[in-house]
Amino acid sequence: MTAADRSSLRDWRQVRVRLSPRPRGIHLVTHELLGAIDLSAFAIGMVHCFLLHTSAALSLNENASPEVRTDLARWLDRVAPDGADYFDHTLEGPDDMAAHVKSSLLGAAVTIPISRGRPLLGTWQGIYLCEFRTQAGPREVVVTAWGGSAGVAE
């Protein structure tokens, strides 16, 4: 690899996206997050979305059938029910500790490859904000892309 090849793989971009408050549930945010950052210069790379909160999560999942979202939310509510008598952390309301458990299960980040200036999502994949609080405020996500203009096989 030449020095020119190495330098073409060092492009970084980052934006902070503020998502408007949403009701409790699982919400498709693919276009809000990926539309906030210009990926067109990247022939190859990665885009990483990191949620700056501990009572919500990001998930990459099926984006066609709304039943997937409701079934996932229902399952998570059974795994970590609001106000469970075994939670000690209760100062912020009965949904707070359950939200932290769900956030830990799903995670705060997703990473997606970039090819030819576009995210490489599967046909039925989308990025979801999983909102676990009943009265949540806006959520912030840091979207970071890195890669370069060389390296994609034809």
The mean pLDDT value for 92-116 works out to 97
The mean pLDDT value for 98-107 works out to 98
In angstroms, the CA 112 to CA 120 distance is 6
The mean pLDDT value for 15-31 works out to 97
In angstroms, the CA 141 to CA 154 distance is 33
Position with higher pLDDT, 45 vs 2: 45
pLDDT at 4: 56
pLDDT at 10: 77
Neighbouring C-beta atoms of residue 125, cutoff 10 Å? 17
Position with higher pLDDT, 77 vs 5: 77
| Among candidate residues 19, 20, 17, 22, the one with its CA nearest the CA of residue 135 | 22
Q: Which residues pair with 60 in a beta bridge?
A: 127
Q: Residue 145 CA to chain centroid, in angstroms?
A: 14
| CB-based contact 56:131 (threshold 8 Å) | yes
| CB-based contact 65:126 (threshold 8 Å) | no
The domain locations on the chain are 22-146
Average pLDDT over the chain reads 93
pLDDT at 150: 74
* 9, pLDDT greater than 80: no
Q: Which residues pair with 80 in a beta bridge?
A: none
Classified by CATH at the fold level, domain 22-146 comes out as Jelly Rolls (2.60.120)
